[in-house]
Structure 1
Amino acid sequence: MKIQRIVLSIGLCCALGLTACEKVIEVEPEFAKDGSEIFTSLNDYEFALTGAYASFRQVGYLGSGGQTTGTWSALPDMMSDNLVQTSEDLGNWSDQTNWVYTSDDSDLAVAWLAAYSVVTQANLVLRNIEQFSEASPERVNRLKGQALAIRAMVHFDLLRYWGESLDRNSTALGVPYKTIVDAEDMPKRLSVKETYDNIFKDLKEAETLLGDVDTDINASNRAYIDQTVTRAILARVSLYAKDYVAAKDYATLVIEEMPLAGREDFANIWTDASEEEVIWSVAFSAGEGTAASGVHNAPSNRNRFKPSAELMATYDAAKDVRYASYFGTRTLSDTERTIVKKFLSRGTAMDNLVNWKVFRTGEMYLIRAEARALSGDALGALADLNTLRAARIEGYLPVVLAGQPLLDAIALERRKELFAEGHRWFDLKRTTRNLQRVDCGSTATNCTLASGAREWAWPVPQAEIDANVNISSQQTAGY
């Protein structure tokens, strides 16, 4: 399907399986069914923004369902050395976990469509909203800032999978950057550099706008993108782009607003009993799907992907609060299996119904530590590493490291802290490391992926290649 045909509204989001937007449809059932209607009030824009947030719950973006897992939730860990596919999974996602995908892979097409549907929903919010700037400037800032941040973040997520490189100034192929709602618009793939240019442009404008808004965006929860969330996105993108000064500065701004959770609160993050250090989470409610049922499906007690034994061995099981928060056991037919515990439920329902934590303060410490280490501030990097460990490990004694051992320690801590939160594949890709599965399991057919392999960048779905004349000659190298 061509990108220009993804002119989604809240209604079309629902047609793609997004049950969450039924509530919005009940309010405005005829709302912009094909994106062609021009909004006549800021209330229309509010509805469209609600649709953009709801679109993150789609199967193919963060949501899991049927044969498809959350492309930007659990899949990056499934494809890496963090999670091990089991025979209980029935072979779902084997093409991705074994890196044998092709341009006609249906899961890749679902992911492509899901991401650009969120972009189109954001673009609906941005279209002609300036007509209200004089009458309601702060409200326009709030709506426009969130939409710009959403558009930028989704294009960055696309770049992480489809970009032929993640280097800031690379001329290799990035992704199409969709900025308008137009059925005739057929954007080409930009270079990686051009893609980053657009991402940073949108994010920096969003940061400015969200500093002058009409109401506290996250007064009651952390379900929306405010200025702090935008700075967290900027910190992450800047780290990938190797702009270490910016990564450090943005991470610091976020850390000052959102301190780390204490050990006594950490476990409660994963049952949604606490929002300590949660910068932004995508909310899931009953009937709106789940983000991680593809890892351990709690209702059916199907252990589709188990945690890597090699990774588990790196934790202090007795003293590290993450161990008991992340890992557990469940019995099936008198057999006890190790499972990923952190997404089971909010209470005792065992329904995988928890919010997806897109950004946490723990990541900000690791971004700042890595940025400091790579920009000559070894002492600052070490301080961040020791601070994070002390917050997680009872009785932790600070270490003294420098040079490559310090960088290795930060990378390991990143793997441990962000386990199963959608980072590991991208961390290996952006640092051009080989992927070597020490714990490969019994179902995998491939256990090693070299850093220069074509599989680090996904092929563009063949339907897009066939339909979009401007992208027809821009298939990812090697496919």
Structure 2
Amino acid sequence: MNKIFKNIAFAGIAVSLVATGCKKEYLETAPTESVGAEEVFQSTDGAMVALDGAIRTMYSSLTNHGNFGQKSYDLVADLMGEDMVVHSQGYNWLNSEYNYSVFSNAQPDQRPDRTWFYYYRIINNVNRILVRLPEITGTDEAKSYLEGQCLALRAHSYYYLVNFFGQYGDSNSGVPMYLAPTSDGAPRSSVGDIYKQVYLDLERAETLLGTTRQHASHLNQSVVQGIYARVALQHGDFDKALSYATKAIANSGKSLYTRTQYTAAAFNTISAAEWMWGAEVNVEQATIFASFYSHIDNRPAVGGYAALGGQKKITKALYDKIAADDIRKSLFQATPSTPMPIYAQLKFQLRTAGNWASDYLFMRLAEMYLIKAEAAARLGQNAVAIQTLEELVKTRYSAYTATGLAGNALLDEILVQRKIELWGEGFGILDVKRLGKGLNRPTGPGNHGGDNLNGNGANNFAHQVTTLPARSNRWLFAIPQDEINANASLTMADQNPATD
């Protein structure tokens, strides 16, 4: 643990400044070495520099073209799931994740190692801010703002860590938990204890943050409530999920997209009507080929990895469930084409091909409606569930109705709408794990490994995993070997099993 965690202490904080008194409104960064730790932590202004560095990590390129902050893990989560198909081998980026062939690899620079590094880097950086807050100069208001941001980011990071590295169920082993900077390794906390801390951090952050934020990439109270709703749904706390999704909707100040607004522009710009939280990425900070858009934007003019054979597509099985008049169907390629194969996604596109300055989406209003609808349905509040679901889907498909549905039929309909609405936004394997039905990837023409239906007789990229049991170990990420070697509180007995 000393090697992994200590090395990402202050050296990992990209020194970032929110520009004031000038035209730039994005987070500017400078080399960490240019500002010492003592200088940064003398005041709340200096601590804000460190906070912005932690947030900058969420859209930075870390080590190679497959690691680009939070969206790399969102993409991995969908590639592990049921509804995203890879067209062909391309340059092989992320194919091992799609194939489930990398998660048991505990060696350096593999997906488990990079995932561990990314989330613990954020945790350690915000812990360093939190521990110094009482002694630095600044107003109580500024300190509350910083504390709320840090606690929410810590909770967000532990939520993803426990879902990637822990088996579903409170009694199972989670990840080591650190609430202050340290170079001493901790043992694995239980999944349940991690969730308890996540809730505590979010509840405290909710009281500290208001509706405003200093930068679009920061969090506010409604985002904290949205994270809480997401966490509660994943954990099966449906009362909490319903309550917090309702609060997030009411406090967000956002509105559901109209049919006119539901275009690719709705998914690449932080000012879009539904965006509750995202990262503003300007041209100076864009990571070009090592970016989400390089791996997701299928258009040849972009020149990213997706266009070079690794096109990301919706399954035919899910595409066929979208009504013909549903505007969401227009965000997938409807006909065979050489440069844009049938079922290729058109949802996530750079604002301008050749210019990599497009923002990263972390949370939007539609997710809150879906959480509210599902939680209400699971609690037997059918009228609330139907009303909420219809409020959302009718903005995409005016003829939609869920009237008359109840019980499992209503729940199944909500889950189908969730798959359609949130396709490509990072919920694939998270939903598979929490629903407890195992992995069931559709196969056959237009689906995983089947005929790509593009008129050339070729198949979609050959995958190795079609089904997995409900409590599979195959989707557990290995604890990095470097962590086990350096953390005296861990042994090889703590390693995740690689097979079921």
Q: TM-score, normalised by structure 2?
A: 0.84
| Matching of residues 127-138 of structure 1 within 5 Å | 127-132=131-136, 136-138=139-141
Shift in alpha-carbon separation, 1:235–1:116, aligned structure 2, 3 A: same
Q: Within 5 Å, which residues of 2 pair with 1:256-271?
A: 256-257=250-251, 258-267=254-263, 268-271=265-268
| Residue number in structure 2 paired with 1:246 | 240
User: Which runs of 5 or more residues in structure 1 are unaligned?
Assistant: 15-20
Q: Which amino acid counterpart does residue 461 of structure 1 have in structure 2?
A: P
Give 1:282 shift: 1.6
User: Displacement, 1:203?
Assistant: 0.8
Evaluate the alpha carbon distance shift between residue 266 and residue 202 of structure 1 in structure 2; reply closer, same or farther with a 3 A threshold: same
| Counterpart Cα distance in 2 of 1:323 and 1:171 | 41
2:102 corresponds to 1:108: no
Q: Letter of the aligned partner of 2:217 in structure 1?
A: A
Counterpart in 2 of 1:231?
225
Alignment of 1:418-433 (within 5 A): 418-433=422-437
Give secondary structure in 1 for the equivalent of 2:81.
coil
Matched, 1:281 2:278: yes
Do 1:296 and 1:302's aligned partners in 2 also have CA atoms closer than 8 Å?
A: no
Q: How does 1:44-83 map to 2 (within 5 A)?
A: 44-59=46-61, 66-68=65-67, 70-83=71-84
Q: Tell me if structure 2 keeps the 8 A contact 1:363–1:418.
A: yes
Are 1:295 and 2:293 an aligned pair? no
Match of 1:458 among 477, 481, 499: 477
Q: How does 1:10-409 map to 2 (within 5 A)?
A: 23-25=28-30, 29-32=33-36, 39-59=41-61, 66-68=65-67, 70-101=71-102, 102-104=104-106, 106-132=110-136, 136-165=139-168, 167=169, 170-182=170-182, 184-211=183-210, 216-217=212-213, 222-257=216-251, 258-267=254-263, 268-272=265-269, 274-286=271-283, 287-289=285-287, 290-296=291-297, 298=299, 299-300=302-303, 301-304=307-310, 305-317=312-324, 319-327=325-333, 332=338, 336-347=341-352, 349=353, 351=355, 353-409=357-413
Percent identity (aligned): 26
Give the Cα separation in 1 of the matches to 2:360 and 2:270. Answer: 13
Q: Where does residue 17 of structure 1 map in the other structure?
A: none
Report the CA distance between 1:22 and its aligned residue. 9.5
**What is the Cα deviation at residue 37 of structure 1?**
7.0
The offset of 1:272, in angstroms, is: 2.0
Greater shift after overlay, 78-87 or 389-398? 389-398
Structure 2 portions without partners, runs of 5+:
17-25, 450-459
Deviations, residues 372-424 of structure 1 (Å, cap 9, x unaligned): 11112111111111211111113334432001111111111111110000001
SS of aligned partner of 2:147: helix
Counterparts of 1:274 and 1:255 in 2: how far apart (Å)?
17
CA RMSD of aligned residues (A): 2.7
Which of 100-109 and 171-180 deviates more?
Answer: 100-109
Q: Deviations over 1:402-459 (max 9, x none)?
A: 0111111111111111000000111011111221221212421221122122113221
**How many residues align structurally?**
454
Give the whole-Å Cα distance in 2 for the aligned partners of 1:147 and 1:328.
Answer: 44
Contact 1:222 1:275 in 2 (8 A): no
Instruction: State the distance in 1 between where 2:335 and 2:142 align.
Output: 48
The alpha-carbon distance between structure 1 residues 131 and 47, as it changes in their structure 2 partners (threshold 3 A), is: same
**8 Å contact from structure 1 (residues 2, 186) kept in 2:** no
| Distance in structure 2 (CA, Å) of the matches to 1:330 and 1:31 | 54
Shift of 1:222: 3.8
SS in 1 for 2:85: strand
* Separation (CA, whole Å) in 2 of partners of 1:186 and 1:380: 46
Which amino acid is the alignment partner of residue 77 of structure 2? P
C-alpha displacement at 1:323, in angstroms? 1.8
Tell me if structure 2 keeps the 8 A contact 1:9–1:31. no
> What letter is aligned with 1:92?
W
Task: Give deviations 1:81-133, integer Å, cap 9, x for gaps.
Answer: 21112324233323321223323251221121111111122122212212248
Report the 3-state secondary structure (helix = DSSP H, G, I; strand = E; otherwise coil) of the residue aligned with 1:322: helix
CA distance in 2: counterparts of 1:306 and 1:38, whole angstroms: 45
Distance 1:104 1:10 in 2: 22
How far, CA to CA, are the matches of 1:338 and 1:403 in structure 2?
32
8 A contact 2:66–2:72 mirrored in 1: no
Cα distance, 1:273 vs. partner? Answer: 8.0
| Alpha-carbon distance, 1:38 to partner | 6.9
Change in Cα spacing, 1:273 to 1:121, as seen in structure 2 (3 Å) is: closer
d(CA) in 2 for partners of 1:163 and 1:147? 23
Structure 2 SS opposite 1:391: coil
Per the TM alignment, residue 66 of structure 1 is displaced from its structure 2 partner at its CA by: 2.2
Q: Is the 8 A contact 1:9 1:48 kept in 2?
A: no
Pair 1:467 & 2:486 matched: yes
- The superposition leaves residues 262-281 of structure 1 with CA deviations (integer Å, 9 ceiling, x where unpaired) of 22222231242852111101
Aligned-partner residue type, residue 311 of structure 1: L
Q: What secondary structure is seen at the aligned counterpart in 2 of 1:369? A: helix
* Distance 1:108-1:330 versus aligned 2 partners, 3 A rule: farther
- The verdict on how the C-alpha distance between 1:82 and 1:173 changes in structure 2, with shifts beyond 3 A counting, is same
Deviations 1:170-194 (CA, angstroms, capped at 9, x unpaired): 1211112222223x22122100111
> What is the alpha-carbon distance in structure 1 between the residues aligned to residue 274 and residue 403 of structure 2?
24
Structure 2 CA distance for aligned equivalents of residues 147 and 122 of structure 1: 5
Contact 2:186 2:489 in 1 (8 A): yes
